[in-house]
Structure formats: C-alpha cells, structure tokens
Amino acid sequence: MKDVVMTAEHTLEKLGLTAAELTGGTLDVRSPIDGRVLARVHETPVAEMDAVFARATTAFKAWRTVPAPRRGELIRLLGEELRAAKEDLGALVSWEAGKITSEGLGEVQEMIDICDFAVGLSRQLYGLTIASERPGHRMMETWHPAGPVGVISAFNFPVAVWSWNAALALVCGDPVIWKPSEKTPLTAMACQKILEKAVARFGDAPDGLLQLLIGGADLGKALVASEAVPIISATGSTRMGRAVAPIVAQRFGKCILELGGNNAMIVGPSADLEMAVRAIVFSAVGTAGQRCTSLRRLIVHNSIRADLVARLKKAYAGLPIGDPLAQGTLVGPLVDEASGQAMQAALKAAEAEGGTVFGGRRVTDGVPEGGVYMQPAIVEMPGQTEIVKTETFAPILYVMGYDGFDEALEMQNDVPQGLSSCVFTLNMREAEQFLSPAGSDCGIANVNIGPSGAEIGGAFGGEKETGGGRESGSDAWKGYMRRQTNTINYSAELPLAQGVKFDI
C-alpha cells in the first residue's frame, strides 16, 4: 500500500524540516530502501564545538535549578508532541533506516513510553536517609544534576536510543549534546524540531537544552574529549566503545556504553516449539537482524534440533522481503552496501569453519532497485567457531546443538559479548538455572520470549564487551546524576566519627 504512504519529501516537510536545511550541505543522506539521496545536510563545523560546549554549560546552570517535577513537564509535553508526530516520525525512520512500517512506529512508541516513564521519575529522584553513628546528627544522600550529557547513537535505533537518554537526562537536570549516526541525521533533526515545539509550549526553558552535531567522527571525538561533558552515553560497536572509553576515563568522565551483542536462545527439549519458532523468526529477522538485541545464536537440544531447523527453514522460505513501507513486508533492506558485504563475508567464513548455509542470498526480484535486500540466513554450525563469536549486523542465525543443559549454558556464555539472552523451556529447573548466579552472564535474560524487543521499564544494557552501561528504565537515571552524601549536625557538640579525639 505504498501509494497511501507519504513521500519522504512530504514527510520531511510535515516534520518541519526546511529546504534550506535539507539542501546545499556536504553530507548526503541516502535511503536504504532504494539508495536515493534524500537530502544533503549541513555538517556542524568542528570549529563550532567550543561554542556548543559553552551553550550547554550555560543551559546546565539554569536547568539544574528548575525543580525536577517542572523539568518533567517539558518531557510530558515532548511525549504529547511525539504522539502527534508518531506517524510522520515513524515513516521517516523507515525512509532513513529502512525499518518496516510497524517497527518504525514501534520505535516512536518506545520514545513515548520513555517520556511517560521520565515524567513519573521527575517526582521520584529519591535519595536516602542514613542512620548516623553520632548523636544529634543526620545523614542523607542527595542526587543532583551532573552536567551536559553527550549522546552518541547508531543508525539502527536512530530516535529511540536518543529518547532513552534525553528524556532521563533532561528530567535529571542535564542538557544533551547529540551526535547521531552520519547515516541518520534527518530523524535526529526531526527530533530536535519536535523537542523545540515542546520547549516553546513549556515557556521558560533555557536555550541549548538539546544541541545536534551533524557529521562524522571528528565531532564525536571532540565531544568525547571535552571536560565540559561529564557523561558520555554511547551506543554502537565494541570498536567504537574501545575508542571512547579510555578518553572519557582519562578525564574522569563517566561512560554509559551500550555496545555489541551476540545474543543467544537456548531451546530445551520441553520447549513450546511453535512459540519458539515465532520468537526466533522475529528476533533473528526483525529489523533485518540489525538490532543489538537481534538473535544470532540458537543453541538447541539435539533431540529436537532437526525438527526445529526444519520448521525454521519453512518459515524463512516464506518471509516477505522488500520495500519496508509496503504492507506485509517483514524484512526490509540492510542499511548499506558495506553491510551486505559484511553479511556475505560472514557467511563465507562460516562455511570455511564447517557451517552449512540456508538462504543468505541477495534478493533483486520484487524489491526496490538500489537497496541491499538479503534473504535471512540459517547456518548450521559444528560448534561455536570464531565467526559465531563475532557480531555481524545482519540476519544470520547460527545453529548449534547440545546434549546437557550445563553445556548449553556454557556455550551461551562463551562469547565476548553479554547483552541479551533467553531460554525456551517448560522445565522450571532449567528456567531458574538460566536466571541464577551461575546462569546467563548477560544484562538481559528472558524466559520463553526472544532476546529483542525489550520494554523501556527495565534497565537496558549488558556486560563484558557490551560495555556495562544501563539505559532506560529501573534506576538507570542514577547514571545521569551525581550522588552527594550529606551529614547534618543539629547538636551543640562536635563529636568526630570513629570516636576520634582531637581537642584543641
């Protein structure tokens, strides 16, 4: 039903992006759908970075004194504006990142959800009251705004990841400097417009609560190195995280890192296979395998392996691949040619390591010209070889067999990454073992649902090479504030802690 969908140009216009912003620049924005240049946007000059930091610092000084529930009002308005813009922004996510319509809309829904969460949070930035060992003393812990937050985001969730960070940061009293992926500046520019509308309705917010850095790695480098930005929240590859973390550590800044995943599902002999198949296909093939939470490894009990693989091949063979804006499509394009090549290279490596590949070919019939459309691949592997331990951002599902549950758990944990994981089982012992201290070593561990599609209410992130950061729900907000311990003496004495005597 492409014809009832707006054109990209019309969508951009409805989102308030002007011709002057979309033309005459040096950064070409291509749609993964057909490779067409959607816009030529203007890059932020590196020479402007000092001014950016100065604006963020000034904004911080004003914003930190605004009561948190009032800051929450800005995010409530942002949520309203996002509701109004949901269809257009969702469509732009499809145009710019290649997501199918439902996933583009889902991403905007995730933004709305985190806004609602952050509004509630704005009245709950709780500290503690702590018992003092000294008479006539009281101790407490207070959470204060920390300063400007640098957000570096990836192409695959071009808007939701920003919102997880920005909604919390703004409620916590911190302005945001956002460096989106070079591949997705348009959705970022649209978000800025949407926030501007909320700011206008809010009334008295300081300027510079959100600044955008459009362009390449130089801007990211300047952001990461700046003492003016105490918190860097970076989502992307492990390689990027390895470059960012030491620079931030060197200046004693704080990092929130959300890096690569290599997510597995263990399927036990008691599993509801029909449910497992649905979960596997969504999480391995959804977003064309380009989520950090995508399912990449299937660890299946040998007694059901042949049956499960046969069911999967049947499901894969019928997958509608093509224009993500067309009704019924489930698999859209990869983001660019380089991703297509990385997928082919990984499949070759898997074959060289003893794998048998099903699917994985480039699709050229019935898909828009100029995009990279691939059949999702199932690769039966003799074991967890080198390529299986590597994250390839494409729809490749490696399948390995196991006999004992301990062996399955060991395989699940035997990769450098530690983002998301899950088990399909009706055996309560297996489920509980999976969630136990000796179970999955990932930041996310699920039972009878796939590894992707996390809700915003939980803390999102993972261990090991995934970087250890937590964003979104639970108490992830603490990462955007500084903790202060206060001791108040309401007595007329001055007793020292630990009974120390120091009479003068």
Which residues lie near ligand UN1 (CB under 6 A)? 110, 156-157, 161, 235, 291-293, 452-454
407 belongs to the catalytic site: no
Q: Are strands 137-145 and 128-130 parallel, antiparallel or unpaired?
A: antiparallel
**Residue whose CB is less far from ligand UN1, 230 or 462:** 462
User: In this structure, which amino acid lies at residue 49?
Assistant: M
What are the residue ranges of helices labelled H in 321-399?
337-352
> 122 in helix, strand or coil?
coil
**Residue whose CB is less far from ligand UN1, 156 or 211:** 156
- Asked if 232 contacts 253 with a C-beta cutoff of 8 angstroms, the reply is yes
Give least dist CB 336 to ligand UN1, A. Answer: 17
Give least dist CB 25 to ligand UN1, A. Answer: 27
Does the CA dihedral 252-256-257-262 come out positive or negative?
positive
Contacts of 84 (CB under 8 A, 6+ apart): none
**Residue whose CB is less far from ligand UN1, 117 or 157:** 157
**Residue whose CB is less far from ligand UN1, 98 or 230:** 98
**Residue whose CB is less far from ligand UN1, 226 or 446:** 446
Give least dist CB 290 to ligand UN1, A. Answer: 8
Give least dist CB 137 to ligand UN1, A. Answer: 45
d(CA 504, CA 502): 6
Question: What are the DSSP calls for 203-240, one per residue?
Answer: --PPTTSEEE--SSHHHHHHHHH-TT--EEEEES-HHH
Among candidate residues 81, 103, 258, 380, the one labeled active-site is 258
Q: Are strands 396-402 and 176-179 parallel, antiparallel or unpaired?
A: unpaired
d(CA 29, CA 406): 48
Strand partners, 150: 177, 232
Beta carbons within 10 angstroms of residue 441's beta carbon: 18
**Residue whose CB is less far from ligand UN1, 177 or 259:** 259
SS (H, E, C) 306-327: HHHHHHHHHHHHCCCECCCCCC
Give least dist CB 236 to ligand UN1, A. Answer: 9
User: In this structure, which amino acid lies at residue 428?
Assistant: M
**Residue whose CB is less far from ligand UN1, 222 or 298:** 298
Q: Minimal CB distance to ligand UN1: which residue?
A: 454
Give least dist CB 283 to ligand UN1, A. Answer: 8
Give least dist CB 454 to ligand UN1, A. Answer: 3
Residue 204, burial from CB neighbour count under 10 angstroms (0-12, 13-18, 19+) = exposed
In the numeric block, the tokens 């009832």 are attached to 4
Would you name the residues annotated as active-site residues? 258
